[in-house]
Amino acid sequence: MYRYDEFDATFVSERVEQFRDQVARRLSGELTEDQFKLHRLMNGVYLQLHAYMLRVAIPYGVLSSRQLRKLAHVARRYDKGFAHFTTRQNVQYNWPALADCPDILAELATVEMHAIQTSGNCIRNVTADQFAGVAADEVVDPRPYAEILRQWSSLHPEYSFLPRKFKLALTGAAHDRAAIQVHDIGLQVVRNEAGEIGFTVYVGGGQGRSSFVAKKIRDFLPEADLLAYVDAIVRVYNLEGRRDNKYKARIKILVHEKGIDAMREAVEAEFARRPDNLLTLPQADIDTITAYFAMPPLDARTTDAPGTAERRAADPRFAAFVDSNVSAHKVAGYGIVTISLKPIGGIPGDATADQMDAVADLAARYSSDELRVTHEQNLVLPHVALDDLPVVYDALDAVGLATPNIGLVTDIISCPGLDYCALATARSIPVAQRISEHFGEGARSREIGELKIKISGCINACGHHHVGHIGILGLERKGVETYQLTLGGTADETCSLGELTGPGFSSDEVVDAVETLVDTYLGLRHDSAETFLTAFRRVGMAPFKQALYEKNVGAGI
């Protein structure tokens, strides 16, 4: 993985000391809250309902075991012994004292981590496919390009005060695990017929108050033009994006109002106007960065993994774990293990300090010291020998992290909701917990098959409800929480936004409503190979709507 050079290390350390001075001046009263707020947000510190919240960047979701141990240490020493992994592959602490934040950031800097640009109207943490560099179906590893974009966008003077926040995501596989089409810019790394690397570029996607699937702006952008072209897009947005209305300030609104053809024309004109070679990527630099992401030396391991096969035959839960939590690796004899942070009835994305330490130990011992964070709020051990699966599974089970439910109905994305978030209108975590408990870990959840439920506690959609196969949006009506349901959303390469079923449901009704949807699906699917999403696309909303509103009484929203 990428290692800081001297410039990076100095840059992050200086930034910590600047923030330490800003916090001291705030606590002494030299800075007012209005003067300080911008600085604190630029360093990832929010004020939430109960306390401050510190959001730490995990660039493109890649972590070493040393870094995860440091995150555990921060949770233990400065917080309440746990942390929360988010839908932007970041980690959040829910209880830090403002006075401690400079010390926390100084500790994080020792392991090459920071909170820069995890808030504010700037280019946020760049996200990527959590299986980047290891997925068997990958064409090109997107991480070197994510790192190049990270370096370019860090404290970029022209883009530190954009009309609104700006999010980039990359994938290097045809199967999109990074939700690139619901980002401001989505980049798919591809190879053309000549075998040359380039990018299919999408722009103007996003969820929230106005939600849009991104439009394709370039079919094939040559590799060397990555920065020049992305720069042209962001410059057009910076100049033309609306600053008069916060709710219309994202690039998705500009693309929608301008139209993709006019947007393309403006971007291409800006791109063509560039002085020659100013941002053209030198091949030597690409090669240098790419070298950081080389596949670690993996010992030749047996592909038939007799120990694993034996355990599979004897232990149904282990077999279920292998089926749902282990994905195909590029190297024969290895697998990618996704660790579910969705224990039945648990809080999606939360991990205790002890669990983080245990996972860090496993990464050091069984996964070439490497970890990933997924936008679906899980962790990944990217290089596990198939032979080691039983021992890894047992170690995960010992700390409550062996839930075999990746991609299933209980692998729910949930934003923090009204339990923590100052913007939320309803709670989302308790709904996730009740759905999880309702379906549990047993045979029925496996019978249901792939089903992605995503819950947001407000219209801003941090819980990605628009792209849930079943999306749940928590709102407040007359002082009471109510939940709207959407169906048919997905963030993969067939990206679509969910369609509203109709009137919302009360907190008491919402789990039954989800059960009704699942039951309806099970009744109408061709066979177990037809997923919820495929079945919905075949039959449409009508049977689900009928089942929901004949059986349940809507809240009449």
Partner 1 sequence: MGQVITANRLKDGTVVFLGPDVGWVEQIAEARVFDAADSIAPALAATKKDEQDNLVIDVYAIDVDSKNGILRPTKLREAIRATGPTVHPEHGKSAANRG
* CA 436/CA 4 separation, integer angstroms: 40
Chosen residue from 3, 6, 7, 33 binding partner 1 by CB under 8 A = 33
Of 420 and 532, which has the nearer Cβ to partner 1? 420
Pattern 384-403, partner 1, x by CB under 8 A? --------------------
Chosen residue from 105, 234, 429, 451 binding partner 1 by CB under 8 A = 429
Residue 180 half-sphere exposure toward CB, CA atoms < 13 A: 29
Give the rounded distance of the alpha carbon of 322 from its chain centre.
Answer: 23
Burial 386-423 (b: 16+ CB within 10 A, else e): bbbbbbbbebbeebebbbbbbbbbbbbbbbbbbbbbeb
Q: Quote the least distance from Cβ 479 to partner 1, whole Å.
A: 6
Rounded to 10 deg, the angle between the 143-153 and 283-292 helix axes is 110
Please choose, out of 48-56, 116-124, 487-495, 549-557, the segment that lies near partner 1 by the rule CB under 8 A: 48-56
* CA 49/CA 36 separation, integer angstroms: 19
Pattern 327-366, partner 1, x by CB under 8 A? --------------------x-------------------
DSSP secondary structure string for all residues of 154-203: TT-GGGSS-SS-B-EEEESBSS-SS-GGGSSEEEEEEE-TT--EEEEEEE
Sequence-distant (≥ 6) Cβ neighbours of residue 328 within 8 angstroms: 135, 136, 137, 335, 336
Of 122 and 424, which has the nearer Cβ to partner 1? 424
Binding to partner 1, residues 66-125 (CB under 8 A): 80, 95, 97-99
Length in residues, the chain: 557
Of 54 and 232, which has the nearer Cβ to partner 1? 54
Please choose, out of 62-70, 155-163, 424-432, 436-444, the segment that lies near partner 1 by the rule CB under 8 A: 424-432
Of 95 and 318, which has the nearer Cβ to partner 1? 95
Chosen residue from 5, 24, 35, 50 binding partner 1 by CB under 8 A = 50
Q: Quote the least distance from Cβ 103 to partner 1, whole Å.
A: 13
DSSP secondary structure string for all residues of 302-339: -SS-HHHHHHHHH-HHHHHHHHHHEEEBSSTTEEEEEE
Please choose, out of 279-287, 288-296, 391-399, 426-434, the segment that lies near partner 1 by the rule CB under 8 A: 426-434
Chosen residue from 9, 41, 49, 524 binding partner 1 by CB under 8 A = 49
Q: Quote the least distance from Cβ 469 to partner 1, whole Å.
A: 24
C-beta separation of 251 from 259 below 8 A: no
- Check residue 41 for interaction with partner 1 (CB under 8 A): no
Chosen residue from 7, 28, 526, 556 binding partner 1 by CB under 8 A = 28
- Kindly state the number of chain residues that form the binding site for partner 1, as judged by CB under 8 A: 30
Of 172 and 430, which has the nearer Cβ to partner 1? 430
Identify the DSSP state of 289. Answer: H
Token couple for 512: 């039954």
Chosen residue from 308, 374, 433, 456 binding partner 1 by CB under 8 A = 433
- Check residue 26 for interaction with partner 1 (CB under 8 A): yes
Q: Quote the least distance from Cβ 87 to partner 1, whole Å.
A: 18
Burial 328-351 (b: 16+ CB within 10 A, else e): ebbbebbbbbbbbbbbbebbbbbb
- Check residue 38 for interaction with partner 1 (CB under 8 A): no
Of 72 and 320, which has the nearer Cβ to partner 1? 72
Of 174 and 480, which has the nearer Cβ to partner 1? 480
- Check residue 527 for interaction with partner 1 (CB under 8 A): no
Binding to partner 1, residues 466-505 (CB under 8 A): 476, 479-481
Strand ordering across the sheet containing 62-64: 62-64, 370-373, 379-385, 334-339, 326-328
Closest-CA residue to 203 (of 246, 249, 253, 157): 253
Closest-CA residue to 167 (of 251, 43, 263): 251
For residue 60, give the amino acid letter. Answer: Y
- Check residue 427 for interaction with partner 1 (CB under 8 A): yes
Of 54 and 230, which has the nearer Cβ to partner 1? 54
C-beta separation of 411 from 378 below 8 A: yes
Helix (H, G, I), strand (E, B) or coil at 439: helix
Closest-CA residue to 104 (of 63, 71, 68): 71
Please choose, out of 43-51, 136-144, 287-295, 309-317, the segment that lies near partner 1 by the rule CB under 8 A: 43-51
Q: Which helix (H) or strand (E) holds 484?
A: strand 480-487
Q: Quote the least distance from Cβ 506 to partner 1, whole Å.
A: 13
Per 3-state DSSP, the chain is made up of helix, strand and coil in percentages (nearest 5) of 40, 20, 40
Of 47 and 309, which has the nearer Cβ to partner 1? 47
Please choose, out of 3-11, 20-28, 395-403, 514-522, the segment that lies near partner 1 by the rule CB under 8 A: 20-28
Binding site for partner 1 (CB under 8 A): 26-29, 33, 47-52, 80, 95, 97-99, 347, 418-420, 424, 426-427, 429-430, 433, 476, 479-481
